[in-house]
């Protein structure tokens, strides 16, 4: 026996690795975990130090036997699953299984990228399995099993079958629900801005906004106050009292870690975290590049460290002056600091070879793979470039007790921005600043002390805005900031609560469903620790301590389970029994004349016949979930286009839609219109909301595919007062109130109803 056996997780890596390690190696894949807790039972002996019961994962018997047979034929076995907790646990279980059939030496190898240099270096310098890391993964797996398998049956009993709760997912759901309630309870406050259009001795004219009154922050509460300021400014000759000129530098951003990649891919490319990680996995495992063969294009994509290897820094520092010029290269490498909990053994996410430029390999990559690779490549290159330099100018203008301010800046040297600019929007805050308002303007070359002429004084009404709903990117950032989950779990956390229909993504923002609110309220009331961000973050820290050898895994589980068991026993008797609390109504079933009751279903409350299952008649409850006349009045005029039966309103995962009353015999459906007629000539359709393949909302004609008119902005049934276009469209921008704009002539007005 002279061959060695290299075992990895993913079969897509096998071809790439065979090419690297050569004919002296047999390369096999475990296809993920080969051992796991049983699905049909708890699989954890809580009375015996939480001893786990591992069985062969479903469908893995044949793979496990292949690994055993291969192990018998070699002298050395190298376990090479991914370099994280899950990978360590996979390696541990594989090692245990093959150790019983061979006397070969078993090694653990870790590589952060699938390149010849990294793989051969790992194989030539093997290490041992890390038992602490295995214990940390096992503790996490058992924690999740205890929560899921203890609380979920309770939800089945109290609400309905098929529901589930997760240790970390439930906290994410709570965060989304609490944000939604903050939005619902928000009371807008009116305020006004005053903007002057001014002219000095030199052009161009410029704008300045009221900044202070009597040297205090300007607060204009209502129209009367704004009118008084305008009255005081009549005939005034404001003076340019101060000019501040500065040179400002903007530094490049650190290379990607898992969370920042997910956030930036969401904001720039509109990818969900799940899609980002799926594409990144493919880039990591290898892409066929023609004559080059299969090449791993990026380093490992589950990491929370911004560290870069000396080799990578050396490569990019040689590349930058060659590609962009010596002035773009800093004298020393830029160094970025990881957070305390980061695993510094890992690198940031970067291209494995900086010379594999995106344009050079675009023929081998699908569109979305190329876009993600471009994002990773650009961020990496830019992080080792010099800062961008801006010339900034600030004007302070006084008129009596009023101070107006105007800011402007021009880009003096692009620096790292030649390659990459990070999206600055903070999606947690709809009014987040990306810099001083007007910082992209060039102010005229005026002198201090000049008297200025007011051309226009514009008062504008505003209302404070509620906190923005989370996008998926913003939720990832919130989870990271609060210490909830780890790089490998962010995408799965969001995916799970979406798949359970606890939250919905509408116009790229997360909305809790009625069912999501219900489950969250039950968990908060009965399991306050489980859905506490502080408690969950503390558990994550304990898992880190287990991995560092500072805490025993049984001790950590015991500290969790004792209070959890007490909460569970209380919830058995005290949790509200939603299933048995069908609300009676005064309504009568139109099909069998039995009373109608309100029940809970997959998409929230609905009205059902009390004669179920003999009568399966159901009815939608309307927007507010009530059975009042207002809710009933939401009827649909017209008949089914296919069979002539009555049309009814139904509610699905993405809101209301119109359906044939003879479903499932007839499956005709159509969207609910916006009240705006299609503007195409001779078309009798109406504009309605639709969803793209990527989940984005757009607006198209109900006569599609005969009519293909589309809009990205929501149309409003209001004619333009200037050009008489039959509708306006709703626009949302950072730092501005929502507005309505004419798509024909550009007329714009504030949408006070938004």
Cα separations in angstroms, 450 against 249, 393, 395? 29, 16, 11
Closest to 557 measured CA to CA, from 52, 142, 44: 142
**Tokens coding 100:** 């019983």
In 130-235, DSSP assigns E strands to 190-199, 206-213, 216-217
Residue 597 parent element (H or E): strand 595-601
Beta bridge partners of 652: 655
Give counts: helices (H), strands (E), the chain. 18, 34
Cα(35)–Cα(89) distance, integer angstroms: 9
What are the backbone angles phi and psi of residue 260, rounded to the nearest 5°?
Answer: -70, -30
CA distances from 575 to 164, 522, 579 (A): 15, 7, 11
Residue 442 CA, chain-centre distance (Å), reads: 36
Which residues are paired to 728 by β-bridges? 716
- In this structure, are residues 588 and 594 in contact, taking their beta carbons and an 8 Å threshold? yes
| Active-site residue flag, 490 | no
Residue 658 DSSP one-character state: E
Distance CA 303, CA 349 (A): 7
Kindly report the number of other CB atoms within 10 A of residue 517's CB atom.
17
Q: What is the 3-state secondary structure (H, E, C) of 178-208?
A: HHHHHHHCCCCCEEEEEEEEEECCCCCCEEE
The HSE-up count of residue 131 (CA atoms within 13 Å, CB side) is 6
**146: which residues sit within 8 A by CB, 6+ positions away?**
42, 44, 46, 557, 560, 561, 564
Distance between CA atoms of 707 and 712, rounded to whole angstroms?
16
- Taking a C-beta distance cutoff of 8 angstroms, is the pair 738, 721 a contact? no
DSSP lists the bridge partners of residue 512 as 503
d(CA 615, CA 589): 9
Cα gap 663→124, rounded to integer Å: 65
Q: Which residue in the list 78, 300, 373, 490 is annotated as catalytic?
A: 300
Residue 739 class from Cβ within 10 Å (0-12 exposed, 13-18 middle, 19+ buried)? middle
The CA-atom distances, in angstroms, between 674 and each of 180, 533, 652, 717 are: 24, 40, 18, 8
> Strand, coil or helix: what is 602?
coil
Within 13 A of 214's CA, how many CA atoms are on the CB side?
3
DSSP conformation class of 398 = E
Return the ∠ at Cα 257 (arms to 261 and 695), rounded to 5°. 20
Nearest to 604 by CA among 552, 644, 656: 656
Instruction: Report residue 730: phi and psi, to 5°.
Output: -85, 130
Closest CA to 350 of 386, 313, 325: 313
Give the Cβ contact number of residue 630 at 10 Å: 11
- In sequence order, the β-bridge partners of residue 36 are 55
Q: What's the Cα-to-Cα distance from 503 to each of 494, 497, 517, 673, rounded to whole Å?
A: 9, 6, 9, 24
DSSP state of 718: -
In the beta sheet, which residues pair with residue 677?
686
Say if CB 17 and CB 120 are below 8 A apart. Answer: no
Write the DSSP symbol of residue 127.
Answer: B
Which residues are tagged catalytic? 300
């Amino acid at each position: 026996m002279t061959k060695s056996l290299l075992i990895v997780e993913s079969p897509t890596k096998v071809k790439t690795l065979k090419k690297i390690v050569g004919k002296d190696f047999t390369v096999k894949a475990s296809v993920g975990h080969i051992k796991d807790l049983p699905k049909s039972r708890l699989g954890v002996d809580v009375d015996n130090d939480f001893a786990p019961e591992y069985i062969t994962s479903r469908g893995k018997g044949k793979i496990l036997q292949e690994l055993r047979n291969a192990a018998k034929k070699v002298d050395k076995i190298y376990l090479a699953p991914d370099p994280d907790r899950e990978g360590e646990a996979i390696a541990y279980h594989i090692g245990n299984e093959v150790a019983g059939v061979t006397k070969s030496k078993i090694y653990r190898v870790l590589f952060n990228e699938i390149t010849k240099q990294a793989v051969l270096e790992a194989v030539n310098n093997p290490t041992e399995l890390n038992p602490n890391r295995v214990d940390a993964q096992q503790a996490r797996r058992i924690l999740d099993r205890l929560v899921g398998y203890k609380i979920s049956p309770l939800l089945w009993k109290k609400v309905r079958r098929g529901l589930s709760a997760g240790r970390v997912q439930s906290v994410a759901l709570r965060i989304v629900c609490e944000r939604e309630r903050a939005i619902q309870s928000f009371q807008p406050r009116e305020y006004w801005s005053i903007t002057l259009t001014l002219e000095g001795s030199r052009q161009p004219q410029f704008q300045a906004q009221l900044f202070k009154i009597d040297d205090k922050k300007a607060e204009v509460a209502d129209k009367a106050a704004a009118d008084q300021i305008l009255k005081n400014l009549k005939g005034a000759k404001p003076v340019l009292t101060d000019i501040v000129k500065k040179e400002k530098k903007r530094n490049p951003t650190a290379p990607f870690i898992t969370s920042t990649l997910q956030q930036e891919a969401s904001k720039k490319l509109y990818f969900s975290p799940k899609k980002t990680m799926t594409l990144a996995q493919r880039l990591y495992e290898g892409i066929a590049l023609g004559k080059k063969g299969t090449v791993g294009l990026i380093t490992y994509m589950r990491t929370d460290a911004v560290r870069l290897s000396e080799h990578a820094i050396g490569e990019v520092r040689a590349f930058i002056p060659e590609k962009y010029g010596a002035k773009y290269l800093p004298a020393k490498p830029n160094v970025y600091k990881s957070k305390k909990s980061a695993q510094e053994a890992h690198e940031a996410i970067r291209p494995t070879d900086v010379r594999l430029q995106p344009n050079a390999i675009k023929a081998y990559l699908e569109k979305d793979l190329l876009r993600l690779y471009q994002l990773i490549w650009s961020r990496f290159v830019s992080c080792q470039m010099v800062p961008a330099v801006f010339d900034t100018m600030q004007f302070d203008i006084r008129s009596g007790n009023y101070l107006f301010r105007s800011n402007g800046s021009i880009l003096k040297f692009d620096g790292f921005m030649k390659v990459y600019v990070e999206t600055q929007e903070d999606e947690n805050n709809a009014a987040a600043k990306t810099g001083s308002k007007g910082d992209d303007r060039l102010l005229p070359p005026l002198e201090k002390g000049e008297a200025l002429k007011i051309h226009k004084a514009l008062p504008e009404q505003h209302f404070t805005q509620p906190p923005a709903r989370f996008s998926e990117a913003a939720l990832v950032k919130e989870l990271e900031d609060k210490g909830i989950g780890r790089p490998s779990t962010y995408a799965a956390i969001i995916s799970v609560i979406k798949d359970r229909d606890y939250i919905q993504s509408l116009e790229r923002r997360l909305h809790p469903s009625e069912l999501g609110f219900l489950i969250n309220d039950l968990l908060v009331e009965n399991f306050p620790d489980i859905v506490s961000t502080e408690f969950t973050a503390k558990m994550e820290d304990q898992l880190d301590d287990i991995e560092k050898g500072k805490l025993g895994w049984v001790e950590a589980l015991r500290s969790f389970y004792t209070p959890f068991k007490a909460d569970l026993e209380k919830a058995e008797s005290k949790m509200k029994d939603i299933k048995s609390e069908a609300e009676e109504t005064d309504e009568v079933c139109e099909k069998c004349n039995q009373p109608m009751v309100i029940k809970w279903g997959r998409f929230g409350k609905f009205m059902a016949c009390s004669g179920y299952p003999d009568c399966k008649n159901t009815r939608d409850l309307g927007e507010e979930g009530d059975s009042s006349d207002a809710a009933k009045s939401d009827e649909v005029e017209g008949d089914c286009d296919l069979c002539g039966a009555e049309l009814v309103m139904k509610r699905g995962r993405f809101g209301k839609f119109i359906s044939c009353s003879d479903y499932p015999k007839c499956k005709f459906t159509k969207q609910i219109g916006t009240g705006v007629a299609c503007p195409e000539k001779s078309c009798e359709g109406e504009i309605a909301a639709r969803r793209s393949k990527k989940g984005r909302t757009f607006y198209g004609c109900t006569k599609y595919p005969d009519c293909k008119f589309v809009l990205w902005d929501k149309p409003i049934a209001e004619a333009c007062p200037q050009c008489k276009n039959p509708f306006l469209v709703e626009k949302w921008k950072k730092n501005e109130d929502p507005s309505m704009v004419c798509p024909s002539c550009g007329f714009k007005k504030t949408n006070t109803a938004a």
